[in-house]
Amino acid sequence: MLFAAEPLASARRVLKQYYGYDTFRPMQEDIIGHIMAGQDTVVLMPTGGGKSVCFQVPAVVQEGLCVVVSPLIALMKDQVEALKANGIAAAYINSSVGQSEQQAITGEALNGYLKLLYVSPEKLLSEGFLTFMKRLRISMFAIDEAHCISSWGHDFRPEYTQLRVLREQFPRVPIIALTATADRLTQRDIQTQLRLHEPRVFLSSFDRPNLNLIVRPGQDRVGGILEFLERHPGEAGIIYCLSRKQCETLTQKIQAKGVKAGYYHAGMTPNQRGSVQEAFLKDDLQVIVATIAFGMGIDKSNVRWVIHYNLPKNIEGYYQEIGRAGRDGSPATAVLFYSFADVMSLRDMLSKDDPKLTQLNLTKLERMQQFAEAASCRRKILLNYFGETLPQDCGNCDICRNPPTTFDGTELAQKALSAVVRGRERMSLTLLIDVLRGMRNQAVLSGGYDQIKTYGAGRDLPYLDWYSYIHQMLNDGLLYIAYEEGYALKITDLGREVLQAQRPVPMKKFQPTEKAEKPAKGRKGAAAAAAKAAPVSREAQLFEALRALRKRIADEQGVPPYVIFTDSTLQEMAVERPVNRTAMLAISGVGMKKFETYGEAFIREVLTHGGNPAALAELDEDAEKFEPQETKAPRNRRKKEAPEPATQASADANSTMETTFQLHRMGLSVEAIAERRGLAVGTIQTHLSTLYSRGYELRIEDFLKPQELAEIQTAQAQLGNSPMLRDLFDHLREKYDYFRLRLALMYFKKLRGE
Ligand code: ADP
Ligand code: ZN
C-alpha cells in the first residue's frame, strides 16, 4: 500500500510530464487526492475550469483502466485525441466505431495497455459490454457531463438515468461525476441516481475573470456583429441564434465580408453538422453561427468570443455558452444583444411548454432579463445566481469599465407616464417610444396617438435612450407590462406618485455602445490590440508564425490545431522565445510527448524569427545531456524563479503576488485588480514591479507606449546611466509616476541582457 503523500507527488509528476503544467489549479489537487483515496466524488466546475485533468491524471497514476462515460461522439473524439497527443493511452467506443476497431480496442483494454476508455452511455449499458467490463481491472468510472442525468436540466438524456447499474454491478469501483452545471436540483439528482456513497462534492468558483461581459441593445445586430468582426480579425468565435433561418442568413452576411463562417443547426444532417464542426475545430472556419444545438462538449480552447444574437432562456444556458470562450485562460469576450422583443417571444415560447415547467421557466427568464438590464456589475449578478458572492465589482464587464452616471430623470419619467395614461394604457413599449418621439408611422396614426398631448414630447432623445429609460422605469416598478393584453404598458401606483410630482426618479445615463466597449484604461485587450496596434510587435509576429506552423502540422496530422498547443502556450513561446530543450519544456503546456513530437519544429520557428542561429548547435548538444527524468520535477523555470520561501510570511507574500500576476495575465488593469482584490492600487503596483524584477513577464505595453519608453530612455541617458528615480521623475517633469519609471528602467536592463 502506498503512503498518503506519494500519490499526490506522482500526480504532480504526471501533470508536468504529460501535460507540461507546473501546478494544479486550486481544487484539482484536492479532488485528485480524494479520488485516489477511492471515494466517490462530485465535481462542479465551470467550462474551462480544468475538469478533465481531475480524472485523467489519477487514471494515469493508478493501476487499471478508467472508464469514462461521455454523451457526445465529438467530445469523446476530441478528448481522446488530446490525450494521445500528450502520450497517454486512450480510446473510445461508440456507434461510430467499426466492429474490427472495437475488437482491437477491447484487446488493448484487456491486456492493460489502455489507461482511459471513453464510451457512450448506450454502449456502456448494453449487455455485452457490462459482461466485458467484468473481465477488466477498472480503477474508476468517470461520468462526464453528469447533469445529463437530471430531468430538470436542459440536456436531459434518459440513458443517463440507468447508470446506477454501474454501482449495482461494480460496487467497489469509485465513481467521479463531473459537470459545469451547478444548480442544487441537478446536484441532488446526480448523487441519488448514481447511488453515490457519501460523495464529497467539490463546488469550484464559477467565476471566469478572463471573460469580458458586454450587453448591447438589440438594434442593428448585424451591423454590430460585422463591426465586431472587423475589430477582432482572425479570432475564432461562436454566434448563437434562436432560429435556423437566422443562422443561415447571418452566415451569408458574414461570408460576404470575406470572413470564413459556417452555420450549424438541428435541421442539417449529422454529416453536414460534423463537417462544419470539424472545420471550426481545425481553424478552417473562423466563425460558427449556430443554434444552441452547437457547442456542448466542444473542447476548442482558443475560442476568443461568443456572441448571443438573442437573449438566452436562462442564466444556466447563457453561462455555459459564454464559457466556451477563453478556456485557455487568455482574455475573451462575451457579447449579448438584448431587446425586450426577445423577452416577449421567449415568454410566448415558454408558455406553450409543459404547464408544470412554465412557472419555473418564466422565473428563470426573468432572472436572465434582470442580468441584461442591470446597471451594476454583471459578474456579481451572474455569480450571485450560482450562489457565490464577489466582494468587489469585477472590473471586467461593460458596467464596471464604464460605470453609468446618475441624473434626475423625474421629468423624463413624467413625460413617459403621461403618454401612457393619455394613450389609455394600450401602447406597447415600441409604440410608446414612437409616440414620445413624434413618429408618423402606421401604428401611431391608426391609433390616433398623434392627437394626444404628449405626442412628440420626447423628440430630443434618440430611440435607444428612451428604450433604456423606459426599461429603468419598468425595473423600478413605475410601469408594468400586461402580457395578456398584447404587452401593453400600464402605470403602477408608484408611477402615479411620480406623475403627481410626489416622488423623484433618479436614472442611470444611457451610454452609447462604442463607449461601453472601449477597453478599460491601461488595459490592452488582446482582441483590440490585435486589431489596432499599429506597428506589429515582434512578439505578435512570432505568435502568428507559430500559429501558422501549428496549423500546417495539424492539417498534416488531421487533428485540430489546439490539440497540438493551445493559444496560451503559443503566446508564452512568443514571449519567452525558447531555443533549447530546457526552455521549451519550461513553457506551460509543453509536456514530454509534445516536446518530442513538436519541440524541434517550434524551436526552429523561434530561431528563424530573430533567434540566434548558433543556438541551433546548442540545441543538438543539449540533446545529449537531456534525460527524461529531468522534467519530472519542474526546475529552472526562468519565468518563475521565486526564491524558496524561508518563512510562512514570505510564502504568503509570494502567493498574493502570484494572484496579482494571474489577474494581470488575464488582462485586468492595475485598477481592476486592486478593486477586485480589495487592495490599494499602490500595493498592486508593488507586486507587479517585484514580479517583473524576478523575471515574470508582464505586458509592459499596458503601462508604457513605445514613444514613452523612448522618452524615458533619452532622459536616462541625459542623466548618466544609473540616475536616481527621484531625479528621473523631476527631469521628466513628473510626467511618469514612480511605478512606470521603475518598470521602464527594468525593461531597459532586460533589453541589455542584464
Ligand atoms: P473543462 O473540462 O472543465 O471544461 P478542461 O479540462 O478542458 O476544462 O481544461 C481547460 C483548459 O485548461 C485546457 O486547455 C487544459 O489543458 C487547461 N488546464 C487544466 N488544468 C491545468 C493546470 N493545472 N495548469 C494549466 N492549465 C490547465
Ligand atoms: Zn463588473
Question: What pLDDT does 521 receive?
Answer: 37
CB 331 within 8 A of CB 667: yes
Measured from the alpha carbon of residue 397, the closest ligand is: 2
How far from the centroid of its chain's Cα atoms is residue 554's Cα?
24
Mean pLDDT for the chain overall? 85
Question: What pLDDT does 625 receive?
Answer: 42
Residue 139: phi and psi, rounded to 5, are -80, -40
Q: What is the pLDDT of residues 699-748, one digit of tens each?
A: 888 888 888 888 888 888 877 767 777 778 878 877 888 889 889 888 88
Distance CA 747, CA 730 (A): 20
How far from the centroid of its chain's Cα atoms is residue 563's Cα?
18
Q: What share of the chain is helix, strand, coil (3-state, %, to 5)?
A: 55, 10, 35
Domain harbouring 551, CATH code: 1.10.150.80
Q: What is the pLDDT of residues 517-553, one digit of tens each?
A: 444 333 334 434 434 434 567 888 899 999 999 999 9
Whose Cα sits closest to atom 15 in ligand 1? 50
CA 313-316-320 angle, 5° bins: 110
Whose Cα sits closest to atom 19 in ligand 1? 50
Whose Cα sits closest to atom 23 in ligand 1? 24
CA 376 to centroid of ligand 2, rounded, Å? 7
Q: What is the pLDDT of residues 18-31, one digit of tens each?
A: 999 999 988 999 99
Specify if 689 maps to a domain: no
State whether 24 and 160 are in the same domain: yes
Q: Among the atoms of ligand 1, which is closest to the Cα of residue 23?
A: 23
Helix (H) or strand (E) holding 27: none
- The pLDDT-based confidence of 249 (bands split at 50, 70, 90) is very high
Q: Among 15, 16, 19, which is best to mutate for testing ligand 1, by the most ligand atoms less than 8 A from CB?
A: 19
Distance CA 701, CA 133 (A): 56
Specify if 729 maps to a domain: no
Q: Among the atoms of ligand 1, which is closest to the Cα of residue 49?
A: 3
Q: Among the atoms of ligand 1, which is closest to the Cα of residue 566?
A: 14
* Residue 570: closest CA among 526, 614, 535: 526
State whether 196 and 272 are in the same domain: no
Distance CA 24, CA 483 (A): 51
Distance CA 501, CA 531 (A): 50
Specify if 518 maps to a domain: no
Neighbours of ion ligand 2 (CB under 5 A): 377, 379, 393-394, 397, 400
Task: Return all residues near 639 (Cβ < 8 A) that are at least 6 apart.
Answer: 576, 586, 695, 696, 697
Question: What pLDDT does 654 receive?
Answer: 66
CB 372 within 8 A of CB 338: yes
Q: Can you tell me the mean pLDDT for 491-505?
A: 93
Burial of 255 (0-12, 13-18, 19+ CB in 10 A): middle
Q: What is the pLDDT of residues 173-213, one digit of tens each?
A: 999 999 987 677 788 889 999 999 999 999 888 888 999 99
Tell me the one-letter amino acid at 381.
Answer: I
Q: Among the atoms of ligand 1, which is closest to the Cα of residue 46?
A: 3
Specify if 678 maps to a domain: no
State the number of CA atoms in the 13 A half-sphere of 411 facing the CB.
5
State whether 456 and 592 are in the same domain: no
Measured from the alpha carbon of residue 589, the closest ligand is: 1
Structural domain including 591 reads: 536-610
Q: Considering its fold, how many domains does the chain have in total?
A: 4
Cα Dmax for the chain: 91
CA 510 to centroid of ligand 2, rounded, Å? 17
Distance CA 181, CA 44 (A): 7
Q: Among 14, 52, 179, 319, which is best to mutate for testing ligand 1, by the most ligand atoms less than 8 A from CB?
A: 52
b (16+ CB within 10 A) / e for 428-467: bbbbbbbbbbebeeeebeebebeebebbbbbeebeebbbb
Pocket of ligand 1 (CB under 6 A): 21, 24-25, 28, 45, 47-53, 299, 301, 327-328, 566, 588
State whether 162 and 127 are in the same domain: yes
State whether 293 and 329 are in the same domain: yes
Whose Cα sits closest to atom 10 in ligand 1? 48
State whether 131 and 251 are in the same domain: no
Least confident of 268-272, 555-559, 655-659: 655-659
Specify if 498 maps to a domain: yes
State whether 504 and 578 are in the same domain: no
State whether 224 and 346 are in the same domain: yes
Measured from the alpha carbon of residue 299, the closest ligand is: 1
State whether 25 and 120 are in the same domain: yes
